[in-house]
Amino acid sequence: IACETMGSSTTICSDKTGTLTTNHMTVVKACICGNIKEVGSQEEVKSLSRQIPDVATKMLLQSIFNNTGGEVVTNQDGKLNILGTPTETALLEFGLSLGGDFQGVRQETKLVKVEPFNSTEKRMGVVIQLPAGGFRAHTKGASEIILAACSKVLDSAGNVVPLDEATAAHLTSTIESFANESLRTLCLAYLDIDNGFSADEHIPSSGYTCIGIVGIKDPVRPGVKESVAICRSAGITVRMVTGDNINTAKAIARECGILTDDGLAIEGPDFRNKSLEEMMDLIPKLQVMARSSPLDKHTLVKHLRTTLNEVVAVTGDGTNDAPI
């Protein structure tokens, strides 16, 4: 029965990362201290490291190596192995290519609190105790969300300066530019905590200093565009439903042949605030839903099935795909 139902599908809702894309990620662009650089090769990384101040490099490495769910270990042959999710692996590899020492940086401070990444907040954070006894929070995640939590930024000399409108506009434009090149973007930021910190407290959510933005390449899987075309010719609508940035999602959806000129792309927060009548009007034209929560994905599939009488197939490899 399951096979018959799947063969009768009229709609496929697909996750992006690791489903439509390979999930083999590499940091290929970075914006640190206002410097936007290609960093896909070792020579390009060396060029970046020469152009940013030591204080900024040190803060970047402290952020990458402490605020991570990954690990760098030495195998029996004495070679470094990077363990973790593809995103974490890409960031750790970038940190190592900047000349960072994972264990050395970790040993300089004491880890006090970890708040793992979750698909609702779209960020993760840690608090570390500094050698002098103070506390510092590091956060990373969806670029526009982390940037909105920043009130300061590191300038070209590595100094902490207020995040004015012009600089915020430049960083927002950088995020959009990276995303339009099909890159996943992450923003990294830190906050020095003045009044002490207890592990029972929540990590602060605002007042951060922006360290920089990285653009991560995650290539489309071979054969995806052809598969989407076959589905379309069979009368099956393929929709991308992802937690990623809307510009990244749209760029990859176009590359896959999912997003067409008359198709609609929307963000989860906008989708969930629509009335039922508005949802029924937009869902038939909806081809991409970005920055979606697990509940947004569930709501879309529910309406496709119950209200529009579609037979819906869902594909995805993440825990945020489980509700659907």
Average pLDDT over residues 138-154: 96
> How many Å apart are CA 110 and CA 79, to the nearest integer?
26
More confident: 274 or 316: 274
Catalytic residue among 15, 218, 244, 296: 15
> How many Å apart are CA 188 and CA 212, to the nearest integer?
6
Q: What band does 125 get if pLDDT is binned at 50, 70 and 90?
A: very high
The predicted pLDDT at position 320 comes to 52
Percent of the chain clearing pLDDT 90 (strictly above): 82
Domain range for 312: 2-21+221-321
Note whether 30 and 163 are same-domain residues. Answer: yes
Note whether 115 and 92 are same-domain residues. Answer: yes
Query: Judging by DSSP bridges, how do beta strands 110-118 and 80-83 pair with one another?
Result: unpaired
Res. 49: pLDDT tops 60: yes
Note whether 59 and 46 are same-domain residues. Answer: yes
Note whether 203 and 248 are same-domain residues. Answer: no
Note whether 161 and 112 are same-domain residues. Answer: yes
Domain boundary among 217, 252, 282: 217
Note whether 85 and 132 are same-domain residues. Answer: yes
Note whether 40 and 147 are same-domain residues. Answer: yes
Note whether 58 and 110 are same-domain residues. Answer: yes
Average pLDDT over residues 168-184: 95
Q: What band does 66 get if pLDDT is binned at 50, 70 and 90?
A: very high
The predicted pLDDT at position 196 comes to 86
Sheet holding 286-290, edge to edge: 264-267, 286-290, 237-241, 11-14, 312-315
Average pLDDT over residues 36-48: 92
The CATH number covering residue 62 comes to 3.40.1110.10
The predicted pLDDT at position 29 comes to 97
Q: What does the mean pLDDT of the chain come to?
A: 92
Average pLDDT over residues 164-171: 95
Res. 126: pLDDT tops 70: yes
Note whether 211 and 225 are same-domain residues. Answer: no
Average pLDDT over residues 168-189: 96
Domain boundary among 197, 217, 237: 217
- 15: annotated active-site residue: yes
The DSSP line for 292-315 is --HHHHHHHHHHHHHTS---EEEE
Note whether 164 and 185 are same-domain residues. Answer: yes
Res. 203: pLDDT tops 80: yes
Instruction: Decide: 127 and 113 in contact? Cβ < 8 Å.
Output: yes
The predicted pLDDT at position 189 comes to 98
Res. 324: pLDDT tops 70: no
The predicted pLDDT at position 121 comes to 87
Note whether 187 and 283 are same-domain residues. Answer: no
Number of separate domains in the chain: 2
